[in-house]
Structures are given as C-alpha cells and as structure tokens.
Structure 1
Amino acid sequence: MTLDVKSLTFILVVSFLIVLFLGPLAIPLLHRFKFGQSIRSEGPARHQAKSGTPTMGGILFVLATTFTAWRFSNSPTTWILLLAMLGFGIVGMLDDALKIVRKRNLGLTARQKLLGQVTVAVIFYLVLYARGWHFELNLPGLLHPLSLGIFYLPFLALFMIGTANAVNLTDGLDGLAAGTSFVAFAAFAVLAWWNSQWNVSAFSTAVAGSLLGFLYYNRHPARLFMGDTGSLALGGALAAVAVLSRSEVWLILIGGVFVIETLSVILQVISFQSTGKRIFRMSPLHHHFELVGWSEWKVVTVFWLAGILCSLAALYFVIRP
C-alpha cells in the first residue's frame, strides 16, 4: 500500500463529512436523553453557562475514524491503532456515563480510571509483543535505537496514560483539545507519510479529518463537548501513533501544548503543597489566562498557534535534509 497526497486528502474529507453528517443527528439525541455536561463549581464562573451542553460527542470522531480507517487502510497496523483509541475511549465513556447518571462532575474514581488505562496499555503491549515488535526508542543524535527490553512495558504504560491524561487536561475550553489534537495528528500524518508508514499516516489523517468536522460543533460557543470519551480516545490514539511510527520522543514537541498544560498542573500542586502558594491563578494553564482577563477565544487561538509552531518545529527537525 502506498499513499499520495490526493489519497490522504480524500481520507481527510470523508472523515470530515461523516462527523459533519452525524452532528445534527447526535446533538438532539444527546439533548433528549439529557446527556449534558456538569461544570465544576470551582472553575471560572462564566463556565457555568455551559452546564447542560451535550457531552460524549467524542463518539462522533471515534466512529468516523474507525469507519474511514477500516475502509481505506484495513491492516493489522490500523487495527492496533484503533485498539488504543477504542480502549481508552471506553474508559472515558464509562467515566462520562457515571457523571451523567450522578448529575455531577464525578465519574470513575482516580484508581478505577487508572486501572482501566493500565489494562488497555498492557493489552496494547501484548499485541505488539505477539507481532514481534522491537521494543526500542529512536533518540535524536544516536546512531542506533535504544533497546529497552523488559523496561518497555512500564515505559509504554506511562507514555500512553500520560498522553491520554494530558489531552484530557487540555479539554477545558471550546475547541481547545480538538484543535490542538487536529494539529498534532496532522503533523504525525505528514511525519509517517515522509517515512513511508502509510497505514499510520492514513489513520492519523482520518483522525485529523474527523476532528475538523467535530470543530464545527465544538468551536466557541460549543454545541457539543467531546467528554472524556473523546479526550481519552484522542490521547490513547496519539500515543499509539507515536509508538507505531517510532516517534515517541517527537511527541514531546508535537504535543507541546499538552505537555505545558500537564506541567502547569504538576507545578501548581507541588507549589501549593510545599509552600501554600499557587503559581497560577488556576490550573491547567488555559484557566490561568482566562482569569487574567483573556477571552476564551483568544486563549484557544493562542494555544492553537503554539501547537502549530511546535509541530512545524518537529517536522523541520525530522524532514530537513
């Protein structure tokens, strides 16, 4: 299988149109069943107006990606990538379902959510092992890959869980996680295509297209939220794409916005627990800028731009002659 730019464009458009078509069907249905988002009381006050907005919208781009990837790139690599997306998406769906039933922003416990994510990561590892995967890391500057051997399993678990939760933390403003994820998957589509990893490129393109469609409903003011169903699915898929393209290290730069958002939470917790003082007005970082006085749209567009610059920098270092 080989892919040219025309084929990738077709995959992107098909995935985009599927989500665009499903939106008008899903939004009234989610309203009817009262699948509305519960807003944290400790969050910015203006977010309370978003309470009741339909959530679990991540199902739309998960379905679109699954169909498009199956239809245009039906291969073992594609199904391994879908395993990660669907596995983490199911954990997120359970979390969303409990929040809806309880009508408050409390779903799975942290332990339950971690157990579910670890389970998916271990299954992902076992599938790779069964297929004879070489558990190595390609590090910039090294002539040969670094073999991790038995240490690859804990690395993989941390890598996948960390990425999934980083995307989840970023999902706090209209279009923020969807837009930054679109940029990241588009970058991996280019990177994988450049390295002739056609199936990874096709899958990444399918995700990117579906996110463009989702942004039509998720842009400010959002008519649909992705929920943990979507954010965890995206994080799991993003980690899997990085692993199968052997670009784990480059995810740190391509997903720079996710990294910074996660670091802001970690630094806030460490600072408050050790000194009693907060570094930011609120974490994750996007809330800090909101409380400083930025409009929601300004925060989102600046973070999108940061994601684009990070991805372009990564592609420059990988593709340059």
Structure 2
Amino acid sequence: MLEQVIFFTILMGFLITVLLSPIFIPFLRRLKFGQSIREEGPQSHQKKSGTPTMGGIMILVAVTVTTLVMTNKFSGATVETYLLLLVMLGFGLLGFLDDFIKVVMKRNLGLTSKQKLLGQIIISAVFYFILKQNDFSTAVNIPYFDYSIELGVFYILFIIFWMVGFSNAVNLTDGLDGLVSGSTAIAFGAFAVLAWNQSQFEAAIFSVAVVGAVLGFLVFNAHPAKVFMGDTGSLALGGAIAALAIVTKLEIILIVIGGVFVIETLSVILQVISFKTTGKRIFRMSPLHHHYELIGWSEWRVVVTFWVVGLLFAVLGIYIEVWL
C-alpha cells in the first residue's frame, strides 16, 4: 500500500507541475514577470534576461496539493505534515515578495537583506513554537556516535540558524539552469529514504511530493531554461529541507545530504573573507558554480557535475545514517 502511495505521490507532483507549466509560463510572460540578470554576473547570462521567473509558484502548488491528497489517502495529515507545508509556503511567500519587488517594481536586489532575514527569523520562530506546543524533542542527534545534545531553550536559536542558513544556501545555489531543481530532487529523495526507514511516512510522502514537483519543473527549467523558479522556489525549498531535517531529527545529516548547498555557501563566505582581508579572490567568481563557468566549462557540464556530486553526498548521508 505505502509503496503505491509513494509512486503515485511522485507521479502526481510531477504531472501537476508539467501540466501547469504550459499555462503558467505564458501567463508570466504576458505579465512581463521576466528575470533581471545582475550586471556583475557572468556576461553569458545576460541573454537570459526576460526569461519568466517566479515559476516556484508551480512547485508550491504541486507539493501542497499532492501532499494533502496523498497523506489523507494514506493515514491522514499530521502536525508534521502541516508544519512542513507551513514552512515551505512561508518561505515561498517571502521569496515571492522578493521576486515581486525585483520584476514588478524593478528593484533588482529585491528585499533588503535585513527585511529578508527578519522574515526568515519570524517563520523559523513560529515553526519552533508550534513544535514546542506539541512536545517535540529539543535534542540534536549526532550521527554515527548514537549520541544527542539536549539544547533546551537554546533549540530555537539552532532552528533559526539552520533554517535561515539552508534557505539562503539553496537560494545561492540557484544560479544555473536546472541546478537547484536537480540538486533538491536528489536531496529530498535521500530524506524520503531516511524518513521511510524511520517509519515517518508522512515526512516521506512530503519528500517525494517535492521530488515529483521539482522533476516536473526541471522539464522546463533544464538548459536552456524556459522558466526560473526565482526566490519563490529556492527559498521555499531551502526552508522546507531544513524543516524536514528537524522534523525527522536528522538535523546534522543535512550537512552531508545537502553538501552541494553547503559548499556553495562556503565558497561565498571564503571569497568575501579573502577579499576583505587580503584584497585577493580565491575563485574567479562565487558562488562556486560561476567559477567553473568562467574557467571554460559549459553551463550544462557544471550542472551535471554538481548533480553527480549531490548524488554522492546523498548516498553518503544515507550510508552514515542507516548502516554506520
């Protein structure tokens, strides 16, 4: 029964996105919701200017509908189900506001960093207080060592750090056609396996709903992209995978499974530190995917290489959690 639910969840998420795209993409074009490309980015990206963005709306619709339909069909939605959807939609709304300011109000940087951070903190804090009301554990498990650290009241700080960090990490990774779509499909797929292994079937259903939705989106987002997910999609997916790791008590293993996102973020941090302290850049451009573009790799080669690396990280994360 569960195997059938998982299969039809992926299929449903995939089909909703695929069927919405031919309707929604022309709609975005008519509204002139086209992506503005940063002048400081690679010059080869300037030709992407005007490509419809905010396609993440389709992902959010597909995941929400699929999760609610399939969890109710299986056993009924739980507090965890609604929490995961709340976080995804909350971060998605924040990303939508950011995209709206960029494409409609023509302010290329969108929300200010302080505005975005405040929104992320508020959503993370609401998430924590709902967890607390439902007697959720405030301990963080350490993989391999079979050990946990009880954070108590400090768990809220951990949640804020984790959700802000990973939502921004996925957002930073969203710079090439199909890069985030493929990378998140792999990461959520790994969490589906681990949630299933822990008998957290509602979390597994949510995870595969995301896998199906982003794979459907990838049909139109692969190079050359016909639509971008925008911050609407990338912030939502980043917040959702952090929330998923917290709900399944796999917080630390997210560092491994989300290794591509961690590396992309570290490349930005190292670049900034190096430039401010020595005046020299470590990479030709950060995040890291732009560095490989500027040394001559094709966009498709960079994306596929990052997918392969993401898959290796996902397998490693499953191995550490299940077999070590």
TM-score range, shorter chain: over 0.9
Partner residue in 1 for 2:83: 80
Contact 1:38 1:104 in 2 (8 A): no
1:51 aligned residue: 49
In structure 1, which of residues 148, 155, 165 is the aligned counterpart of residue 151 of structure 2?
148
Q: Distance in 1 between matches of 2:146 and 2:186?
A: 29
5+ residue gaps in structure 2?
72-76
Q: Any conservation in 1 of the 2:185–2:214 contact (CA below 8 Å)? A: yes
Are residues 1:93 and 2:91 paired? Answer: no
Q: Pick the aligned partner of 1:4 from 2, 5, 17.
A: 2
Structure 1 residue 204 and structure 2 residue 201: aligned? no
Question: So what's the TM-score if we normalise by structure 2?
Answer: 0.97
> More deviation in 60-69 or 136-145?
136-145
Kindly indicate whether residue 259 of structure 2 is the aligned counterpart of residue 256 of structure 1.
yes
Q: 1:14 aligns with which of 8, 12, 15?
A: 12
CA distance in 2 between counterparts of 1:140 and 1:29 reads 46
Q: What's the counterpart of residue 74 of structure 2?
A: none
**Matches of 2:252 and 2:42, distance apart in 1:** 34
Aligned match of 2:273: 270
The corresponding residue for 2:38 is 40
Are 1:292 and 2:292 counterparts? no
CA distance in 1, matches of 2:130, 2:323: 33
What TM-score do the two structures reach when normalised by structure 1? 0.98
Measure the CA separation in 2 of the matches of 1:76 and 1:153: 18
Distance in 2 between the 1:102 and 1:58 partners? 19
The one-letter amino acid paired with 1:55 is T
Instruction: Give 1:143 shift.
Output: 3.8
Query: Among 166, 171, 175, which residue is 2:174 paired with?
Result: 171
Q: What residue is the counterpart of 2:233 in the other structure? A: 230
Pairwise CA RMSD:
1.0
Gaps of 5+ in 1: none
Distance 1:172 1:141 in 2: 34
Q: How many residues align?
A: 319
- Residues 1:28 and 2:16 aligned together: no
Q: What's the % identity of the aligned pairs?
A: 56
The amino acid of 2:80's aligned partner reads T
Instruction: Check conservation: 2:95, 2:231, Cα contact below 8 A.
Output: yes
Q: Secondary structure at the match of 1:274?
A: helix
Instruction: Judge which range, 272-281 or 66-75, deviates more.
Output: 66-75
Aligned runs of 1:182-221 on 2, under 5 Å?
A: 182-221=185-224
Q: Is the 8 A contact 1:138 1:144 kept in 2?
A: yes
Q: Say which SS state the counterpart of residue 137 (structure 2) adopts.
A: coil
